[in-house]
Amino acid sequence: MKLSVVVSLMLAVIFAVALVQLGLVSPDFTSNLYLAYKYLSEIPLQGSLLYTGSPEIVTSVLWDQRGIDTYYETTVLFLAIIGTLYIFAEKIKPSEPSKEMTVIVKLIAKVVAPIIMIVSISVALHGHLTPGGGFQGGSIFVVAPLILLAAMGGSKLIKLGFKKDSLLSLRLTGLILIAFIGISTLIIGFMKGVMGYLFLNQPKTYVPLGYADVIHAPWGEIVIAGTLILLNLMEFLAVSAGFTLALLGLDAVVEGGKK
Interacting residues toward other proteins by CB under 8 A: 1, 4-5, 7-9, 11-12, 15-16, 19-20, 24-25, 27, 29-33, 35-37, 39-42, 44-46, 55-58, 61-62, 66, 70, 73, 76-77, 80-81, 83-84, 87-88, 129-131, 133, 135-136, 138-139, 214, 220-221, 223, 239, 242-243, 246-247, 249-250, 253-254, 257
Q: How far is CA 240 from CA 137, 144, 184, 250, in A?
A: 8, 10, 24, 15
CA distance 195 to 208: 8
On whether the CB atoms of residues 147 and 139 are closer than 8 A, the answer is no
Running DSSP on this structure, what letter comes out for residue 31? S
Cβ closest to other proteins, residue 101 vs residue 214? 214
Q: How far is CA 49 from CA 52, 53, 70, 202, in A?
A: 9, 11, 20, 9
Reported as type and span, the H/E element at residue 201 is: none
CA-CA-CA-CA torsion for 171, 174, 176, 182, nearest 10 degrees? -150
Nearest of 56, 240, 60, 54 to residue 135 by alpha carbon: 240
Cβ closest to other proteins, residue 86 vs residue 180? 86
Cβ closest to other proteins, residue 144 vs residue 196? 144
On whether the CB atoms of residues 209 and 195 are closer than 8 A, the answer is no
Q: How far is the CB of 93 from other proteins (least distance, A)?
A: 17
- Fill in the amino acid letter for 81: I
Q: How far is the CB of 47 from other proteins (least distance, A)?
A: 9
Q: How far is the CB of 105 from other proteins (least distance, A)?
A: 24
Cβ closest to other proteins, residue 86 vs residue 190? 86
- Fill in the amino acid letter for 51: Y
Cβ closest to other proteins, residue 19 vs residue 194? 19
Q: How far is the CB of 68 from other proteins (least distance, A)?
A: 13
Q: How far is the CB of 258 from other proteins (least distance, A)?
A: 12
Cβ closest to other proteins, residue 196 vs residue 242? 242
Nearest of 172, 138, 154 to residue 88 by alpha carbon: 154
Q: How far is the CB of 195 from other proteins (least distance, A)?
A: 26
Cβ closest to other proteins, residue 105 vs residue 179? 179
Q: How far is the CB of 70 from other proteins (least distance, A)?
A: 6
